[in-house]
Amino acid sequence: MSRDVFQKVMKFGGTSMGSAASIRDGVVPAIQKAVAIGQFPVVVVSAMSGITSLLLESTQKAQEGKLARAQGLIKEIEHKHLELIADLFLEKLMRNQQISFLNQELETLRKILKTIFLTGELSTRMQDAVLAIGENISARILSNLLIKNACPAIYLNLEKIISKRISIESPSYWTKIEKAFSIRLAKVPQGFVPILPGFFGAITNGILNSVGRGYSDFCASLVGVAIRAHEIENWTDVDGILTAHPSIVPKAKILSRISFDEMAELARFGAKVLHPFSVAPASLANIPIRMKNTFNHTAYGTLISSDSYYSKLVFKSIAYKKGITIIRITTPKMLMAYGFMAKLSNLFAEHKISIDLIATSEVSVSLSVDEPLIRLKSLLRNLKKLGEVDVQNDQAILSIVGVELRKSPAVCGEILRVLAKNKISINMISMGNALINLSLVLHAEKAEKAIQVLHQDFINF
């Protein structure tokens, strides 16, 4: 079909694909409804919840020479899928067809793991091949289940959608992937719903190293751009984007709207509901993303769009992530010297360490990184050549996000006042360039209390 026929992308995550009940009662009806009202979707699915972790563990065990343990993990993966298939496919013919496909994928996995075991090497190409298995099985299960429920569907394998490995940082990547998806989807028969695995082919350095976990969100956005979708729906297990994590703030509110810029900041600093990479393609193409709940279809969800929507809240949401380390370099003579910051950045790049936040003064520079100390030893040795180095581990980043911060400069002082009143010290502070994100670094054990008091004073007022 022409790509113009498809109206939207529907992406279903691991929890949505995690049980027979969620697929049968949540995923399938959502797709059927879209088809019934003429909104022909392209569907992207993640692996069944927990499967990607088992697949990655199996490669690690094989590389460690623990083939028996790796084979045990294959059995676990097989058992989970056989249970799912048995619950969804009562008819013997369709059940056997699905089991046959499962066996093919698991045989591929066995061969790869044996190669890893014998060579002791785990290449990015082999890791990618293993990761694809979880999404392939999910996509095949869903396509067959839709057919069983009188909804024509077709499974599309994306492993070879791009024949040559290219970097996602390459200027040509976006045009090549868009063209590849367009060509592939144009071959879908009229009236069929394409079901795509979230794994989408060859990327330099491997999909896990280049994109990370949650890459199926990124895939959905790339597909959305390729078909010029009216909307990208991301179906999860929550009603939308919340003002804080509900495990920390049980009365957190659902946001009906949020901008691309705000979502990008939240995703970057810990909000797990959407992968950070998924925002950019949709934003550049001006395609809204709507967060929906597979388990509650009546919920409006959260619309993520280009609009900078001001709400009555002082800010919209607080995200956080733990496991942060602060590195502070004090060097009065060199800090303002020409080329010093470039030299510093190059050192981090050489050690493949990404910097989250950076703050400078006349005599020191502070940087926060999302890495354990064991990964920083070599970097720290080299940094000591530039000046005195101080390290603070067990930190957390709180990211306070909202376009409202632009019009309320005084709110930053109010935030610090509330934290000080509750005896919560801040070790580092940074304001984003767009003035929509205030990031605070503090000891990890104080993070949850900080979120609770800020939410109480500024959102639940």
Q: What pLDDT is attached to residue 269?
A: 82
- Would you place residue 170 in the very low, low, confident or very high pLDDT band (cuts 50, 70, 90)? confident
What are 73-89's pLDDT values in tens digits? 999 999 999 999 999 99
DSSP code for 373: G
Question: Which is higher by pLDDT, 341 or 226?
Answer: 226
Range of 53-62, 213-222, 264-273, 403-412 with top mean pLDDT: 53-62
Q: What pLDDT is attached to residue 163?
A: 63
| Crossing angle of the two packed helices 124-148 and 51-63, in degrees rounded to 10 | 150
User: Would the pLDDT of 153 be above 60?
Assistant: yes
Range 392-415 average pLDDT: 86
Question: Which is higher by pLDDT, 99 or 316?
Answer: 99
Q: What pLDDT is attached to residue 166?
A: 67
Q: Which residues contact 34 (CB under 8 A, 6 or more apart)?
A: 7, 8, 10, 40, 41
Q: What pLDDT is attached to residue 417?
A: 93
SS3 of residue 429 by DSSP: strand
User: Would the pLDDT of 461 be above 60?
Assistant: no
User: What is the CA 212 to chain-centroid distance, rounded?
Assistant: 7
330 with 366: CB under 8 angstroms?
A: no
Q: What pLDDT is attached to residue 413?
A: 87
What are 307-357's pLDDT values in tens digits? 766 667 778 899 999 999 999 999 876 666 677 888 888 999 999 898 989
CA distance 120 to 317: 45
- Would you place residue 174 in the very low, low, confident or very high pLDDT band (cuts 50, 70, 90)? confident
Single out the residue of 222, 216, 153, 217 nearest to residue 188, CA to CA: 153
Range 246-271 average pLDDT: 89
User: Would the pLDDT of 143 be above 90?
Assistant: yes
Least confident segment among 66-80, 108-122, 135-149, 406-420: 406-420
What are 7-61's pLDDT values in tens digits? 999 999 999 999 999 999 999 999 999 999 998 999 999 999 999 999 999 999 9
Least confident segment among 122-126, 179-183, 192-196, 310-314: 310-314
Long-range Cβ contacts of 67-76 (<8 Å, 24+ apart): 67/113, 67/114, 67/117, 70/113, 70/117, 71/110, 71/113, 74/106, 74/109, 74/110, 74/113
Range 281-291 average pLDDT: 95
Range 376-386 average pLDDT: 90
Q: What pLDDT is attached to residue 435?
A: 78
Task: Give the chain's mean pLDDT.
Answer: 89
User: Would the pLDDT of 460 be above 80?
Assistant: no
User: Would the pLDDT of 69 be above 90?
Assistant: yes
What are 343-367's pLDDT values in tens digits? 888 999 999 898 989 888 778 889 9
Neighbours of 60 (CB within 10 A): 14
> Dihedral, CA atoms, 44, 273, 37, 230, nearest 10 degrees?
-80
pTM of the model: 0.90
CA distance 380 to 171: 33
Range 130-151 average pLDDT: 95
Neighbours of 55 (CB within 10 A): 21
SS3 of residue 458 by DSSP: helix
Residue indicated by tokens 């088809």: 35
CA distance 380 to 37: 59
Question: Sign of torsion, CA 63 373 124 269?
Answer: positive
Q: Which residues contact 7 (CB under 8 A, 6 or more apart)?
A: 34, 38, 39, 40, 41, 229, 230, 231
Question: Which is higher by pLDDT, 318 or 276?
Answer: 318
Half-sphere exposure of 189 (CA within 13 A, CB side): 5
Q: What pLDDT is attached to residue 336?
A: 63
CA distance 172 to 180: 12
- Domains, the chain: 3-237 (3.40.1160.10), 317-458 (3.30.2130.10)
Range 256-267 average pLDDT: 90
